[in-house]
Structure 1
């Protein structure tokens, strides 16, 4: 069955000319019917083509397709792969948290590519102009639907698909590696038997011989990695000697590099004949690599691959592995989910990995099966070999996994409160019956019917009641006299910012203390509230990090914090100062990224429950964590084109605020070391921010005891309009507070009164909650006679 015969107008969208046996059997269901489709098939059997078939049918009908990729690294890969659609004049647009969303492009895209997390966020905000494109989806392709069973991420995928189906009723095409309970997934998605496929191992292009190899576990985890590496090389050696390639999966980016270095030495020691040092042309090609270590390694036939490499280096490694120049490749698990890069032998060296937020965790069974599925090269091998290297105590667990597979379970029960709060916050649930109707749209409900005892299904309604009562008791939901359910402001903010409910409660408590005047909010309060958030509960401090943590936290009261919380606090404090210790850098990026989101959320809580000045402090803390700049120069980061380095350099030249930049002009910025073109852009960026002049009018220098006089202060915005908070204090006691959208000017009344004091200091402060600009403050002193 040739592609050109089946889809003549889309023949160039496929990377091959003929459909294989598995694809041929699915073609009628995908192209000739409108039903939802569920297809389970072995890894490397060609499932991607099923996604492309469904997309082509939708495009031909003038519709919009959504492809849900299991991880962020794969969204970019799809963007590259689907240049074939772009060549046919169909637009592909990737929506991820790492890119600035262009709503107009998203709205006009023919194919959208998103992760479950980004789709969850977008569907929660579907009624905003920014994200309304998610309600116009005609087909939704879920790649690797067995992600439903993944920790944390599984429940996100589950509730998001249920929500999307309520919003716009798209056709759903769900694809998966082999799973024993494919019928449960089909029942959840309402896919009839005629469009539910369970392609067995006989559809694998190459037979798989999978098994478990054990190693002798020692006392030192670092030494254990090398014990497992030698075991992996023992497995790989006979294949390498026969010109068969081996793919070894390890737990981290650093480990791919370390393992490749050590493997090169061991291969030389064992005199295994691989490498291309005598190949002049390949030697020349290798000079195109940007990574020095990789450049040396590939000449010995050994390479490493991870998401931290440049795209150029990843592409070259993949190309050379396919061509046979690289015979031993070390990679992280991302490669198993993405590029179709099979090898005769696959070895999983590490079954555990270090998660910066969770500590040491077991690799997902789904990841294990996905990796092993890469064994066997179609057209080259009759059989592929896949091995799991593990401690003897875990051998039986992995043998059972290889023999029986893994049923997909729902993980919704683990975070039911959080997802229920989100649905209530969106207004889709207004009473208890709505809750039950919502639950019936989930995989959790279907799986509960299949395994009622395991899911405690008989007590489901009582569990839901308990869940709702918990939300009410903690202030996220309120009930009306008619038993209606509605989210509170706390519940809405928790949903909007993707917070764990205990974190949202902690933020709300801090707001209560500040709002009641019990706490004068400081930077340390914000950093500690974030460092102790539930999102960081599983962070652990390794022994080699503890001295660096203590050095950063000298003089900081951390008596009530555990070791993990102290580590997070140390990373945030040192990152904000731009002096992150080397010992803390391995986990810092993930922790900083999550902390920025949490500080932004705390800022929204402070804005809602305390006021603009408190929110402005949070915004400045967020900018400092992201940019590593001093407190007095943080306002520079509000200027487009000014990052950490440029902000520091300008600050050293005495230009510490956007106002200083405007006063300096282009010539002054050039004198500070900027090129003329950059100076012009920075100057224009500074002019596009709000800028405040305070005018006190007629203000007395002295007043008699017991007398009163009402004066005025004019707050004038000579820059761009923005939300602002205006606060008036006398002797540090707040008199008035105003929140306004400051377009041009605002007049603020100030009551001057003869109090029982020798003198009165009146202060007016203006802060912008959405910009990391230092508050503009001015004061006047009045003597009391």
Structure 2
């Protein structure tokens, strides 16, 4: 019998970090490689076999050596769970820090952390900015644990994980410990990470704690998608019911948060009609505790032993559901795929009801094979079940595809091939690639390179990767993202750096640049409509679809605007427009949140494109559009959102009382703000923040009221700033024609303005002050001069 290790023997100083006394045989087999060697480690093992303990062992070894460990979690929801779960490391005196978004990042905490937790996307962002003070901590990582490394095969996220790990290895060369569910080509991942044979493990199904019976079940689908959903639900309940009646538990995966709620409500009724005994119905304590749940529907269903779980529930409700499921009080649980990747909640029977899902940006898509296998792997409760049962419910035409997946598994592929241009651009923009040799050296650090060698027929260029890279590099040069010299050295342009900074598809970056060039060239005023159309037409939204009922709602929002756009892009435009008014139609709400978040990212990017290539005045148009989409506020009152602490609700309250600008807020003072409905304490804080913003006044001095025809004189116009400083553009026009434009950090500024007696009967001089980074409506003052 294989040797097993006790926790106290293996890691005596970290015994309190583990919730058990002895490692299982899978963990024990890999333990010497993790603890006694320094090489990179790759472990492929069935879901629920205990891979997390190997991650924790690697972290313990790193901490014992005084190093910093980075844990890459596949989902954002799981990073918070790890923070809570690893309180035991905190109790031992080590610091655990979850790296969040730019605004919430605490660089000092991150720098002092012993264990960092990130998603691949956050790690990508951090490594791209490693040479800044805020993100310098990422180069101090000594060990990187990749949880669920088979995420490499994810169409959406695989390339990000791949280039991030490759970049991290070039930056600080940490030890890498990669953990994965069962995959047929573990040797490719080991080759990519340079893991030696003695540190590469492939544990088969015999290491599953509970044997698995997996199968595919079909249903008779019709023309009505809504009815099909219930046909699949009845099929799922048919499969789950025997196990529930036997006192077991079933976990049913559905495609969306709303579907978990609706399926639980319907299942509760169906099980009652079928007279299925549920132990929870007589559990007085459960009935009492359920009254504390925040979600009304959950409170009603859980007392019948039926519950649902999704990322939108409050943490308290999720924790309660998870605990009741572990205790067996919840016998039937509906969930989205998030649960399969994170919380360890196995069930005797697992059913995947939905193999297709609606993606706001992609339309209807097949659930990824990775997700399918991850979900099915949750079948079987160690210590409770002799066997786990897992089923895929699908249309008859898809049955063979899923049977083959269950039989053969899924080889892990690189997704970098389809995004090579944008990731190569990013590396050049970062300065890590300076010539063609660097390009090839970078490519050899990728999983793409390994897979292209081992499966050349599947990868179109196979062994001709140098040619593929040359072509990609040439395209980047011709498109203006990269520039090169006679010695074939390469460097990122401003366009390339901005595309990389905002993670834009390159065709989107080109579209933004064209708009900026147009605004700079013809001097015409950029409109809000121009900005919104550029964003709605971004390549990132190309796969958005619009159903018939959605198109009616789009028409109601936009009228004739955007009639020439594709339906999906016009839907994006409608959601942006509706968000500005805070009144998104019900037909568009299911996709609105995701589309709005992506649109806000695009608007922030477009603002910087406009600032860089057209100037602050054009950028201000995008900044105001961004603030309106985010806060649902009128064009007149959008400047209020520049005040820290003033969002949609407070801005609307102030605007209703006639206070539409920060200057109005300053003039009103505390008494005026209290009269507008703010508490005195809040009024004082809002006033203090408003005083930090620019308050612009134009003084015309001795500017004449008339000028003789054919004569001229020079006059001084002063722009005064009575508030906080900010970067601005001061533009002077006469009869709509630009005379001068100056970008500067605005304090006070004196401008020489020439007054010429021209052929026109009168001259209208306009001084306009715009702020690129603030959603303030530009200050505009005019003076009319008669020509006599």
- TM-score class, shorter-chain normalisation, is over 0.9
Shift of 1:569: 0.6
User: Quick check: 2:47–2:208 contact (8 Å CA) kept in 1?
Assistant: yes
Cα distance in structure 1, aligned partners of 2:710 and 2:69? 73
State which of 738, 744, 749 in structure 2 corresponds to 1:746: 749
State which of 333, 337, 346 in structure 2 corresponds to 1:333: 337
Match of 2:509? 504
Distance 1:518 1:723, change over 3 A: closer
Match of 1:756? 759
User: Quick check: 1:706–1:753 contact (8 Å CA) kept in 2?
Assistant: yes
Match of 2:768? 765
Shift of 1:98: 8.0
Shift of 1:96: 2.9
Point out the more displaced range, 90-99 or 673-682: 90-99
State which of 529, 541, 544 in structure 1 corresponds to 2:549: 544
Secondary structure, counterpart of 2:343 in structure 1:
coil
Cα deviation code 1:672-709 (max 9, x no counterpart)? 11112222221122122222232222211111122222
Cα deviation code 1:439-476 (max 9, x no counterpart)? 00000001111012221223222111111121122111
Structure-to-structure mapping, 1:37-436, within 5 angstroms: 37-97=41-101, 100-436=104-440
Structure-to-structure mapping, 1:709-720, within 5 angstroms: 709-720=713-724
Secondary structure, counterpart of 1:764 in structure 2:
strand
User: Quick check: 1:275–1:302 contact (8 Å CA) kept in 2?
Assistant: no
User: Quick check: 1:423–1:429 contact (8 Å CA) kept in 2?
Assistant: yes
Shift of 1:438: 0.8
State which of 566, 570, 581 in structure 2 corresponds to 1:577: 581
Cα deviation code 1:174-227 (max 9, x no counterpart)? 110011111110110011111111111111111111111111111111111111
Normalized against structure 2, the TM-score is what?
Answer: 0.98
Q: 1:475 and 2:469 equivalent?
A: no
User: Quick check: 2:453–2:463 contact (8 Å CA) kept in 1?
Assistant: no
Point out the more displaced range, 632-641 or 356-365: 632-641
Cα distance in structure 1, aligned partners of 2:8 and 2:662? 60
Cα distance in structure 2, aligned partners of 1:494 and 1:507? 10
Cα distance in structure 2, aligned partners of 1:59 and 1:689? 46
Shift of 1:757: 1.1
State which of 774, 779, 783 in structure 2 corresponds to 1:776: 779
**Residue-pair matches, total:** 783
Match of 1:489? 494
Point out the more displaced range, 69-78 or 240-249: 69-78
Cα distance in structure 1, aligned partners of 2:343 and 2:701? 69
Structure-to-structure mapping, 1:655-666, within 5 angstroms: 655-666=659-670
Secondary structure, counterpart of 1:516 in structure 2:
helix
Cα deviation code 1:647-667 (max 9, x no counterpart)? 111110111111111111222
Cα deviation code 1:602-654 (max 9, x no counterpart)? 00010000010111111111111111000111111111111111111111011
Cα distance in structure 2, aligned partners of 1:749 and 1:275? 85
Cα distance in structure 1, aligned partners of 2:16 and 2:718? 66
Cα distance in structure 2, aligned partners of 1:8 and 1:312? 34
Match of 1:528? 533
Shift of 1:430: 1.6
Structure-to-structure mapping, 1:457-468, within 5 angstroms: 457-468=462-473
Secondary structure, counterpart of 2:248 in structure 1:
coil
Secondary structure, counterpart of 1:444 in structure 2:
helix
Shift of 1:321: 0.6
Cα distance in structure 2, aligned partners of 1:668 and 1:278? 59
Cα distance in structure 1, aligned partners of 2:456 and 2:652? 61
Shift of 1:275: 4.7
Cα distance in structure 2, aligned partners of 1:129 and 1:716? 35
Shift of 1:8: 2.4
Secondary structure, counterpart of 2:124 in structure 1:
helix
Match of 2:38? 34
User: Quick check: 1:690–1:719 contact (8 Å CA) kept in 2?
Assistant: yes
Shift of 1:99: 5.8
Cα distance in structure 2, aligned partners of 1:711 and 1:15? 80
Match of 2:8? 4
Runs of 4+ aligned residues of structure 1 deviating over 4 Å after TM superposition are none
Cα distance in structure 1, aligned partners of 2:102 and 2:195? 34
Secondary structure, counterpart of 2:281 in structure 1:
coil
Match of 1:564? 568
Cα distance in structure 1, aligned partners of 2:12 and 2:708? 93
Cα distance in structure 1, aligned partners of 2:212 and 2:553? 48
Normalized against structure 1, the TM-score is what?
Answer: 0.98
User: Quick check: 1:275–1:298 contact (8 Å CA) kept in 2?
Assistant: no
Cα deviation code 1:472-520 (max 9, x no counterpart)? 2211112212222121111111011110000000011111111111753
Cα distance in structure 2, aligned partners of 1:160 and 1:636? 39
Shift of 1:309: 0.6
Shift of 1:414: 0.4
User: Quick check: 1:544–1:583 contact (8 Å CA) kept in 2?
Assistant: yes
Point out the more displaced range, 334-343 or 214-223: 214-223
User: Quick check: 2:72–2:120 contact (8 Å CA) kept in 1?
Assistant: yes
Cα distance in structure 1, aligned partners of 2:635 and 2:290? 46
Cα distance in structure 1, aligned partners of 2:312 and 2:103? 17
Secondary structure, counterpart of 1:100 in structure 2:
coil
User: Quick check: 1:65–1:112 contact (8 Å CA) kept in 2?
Assistant: yes
Secondary structure, counterpart of 2:449 in structure 1:
helix
Match of 1:623? 627
Match of 1:641? 645
Secondary structure, counterpart of 1:632 in structure 2:
coil
Point out the more displaced range, 331-340 or 133-142: 133-142
Shift of 1:746: 2.0
Cα distance in structure 2, aligned partners of 1:692 and 1:59? 55
Cα distance in structure 2, aligned partners of 1:112 and 1:644? 35
Cα distance in structure 2, aligned partners of 1:135 and 1:87? 26
Cα distance in structure 2, aligned partners of 1:195 and 1:519? 64
Where in structure 2 are there 5+ consecutive unaligned residues? none
User: Quick check: 1:765–1:778 contact (8 Å CA) kept in 2?
Assistant: yes
Cα distance in structure 2, aligned partners of 1:397 and 1:121? 36
User: Quick check: 2:425–2:481 contact (8 Å CA) kept in 1?
Assistant: yes
Shift of 1:353: 0.6
Cα deviation code 1:131-153 (max 9, x no counterpart)? 22211111111110000000021
Where in structure 1 are there 5+ consecutive unaligned residues? none
User: Quick check: 1:662–1:683 contact (8 Å CA) kept in 2?
Assistant: yes
Cα distance in structure 1, aligned partners of 2:487 and 2:752? 45
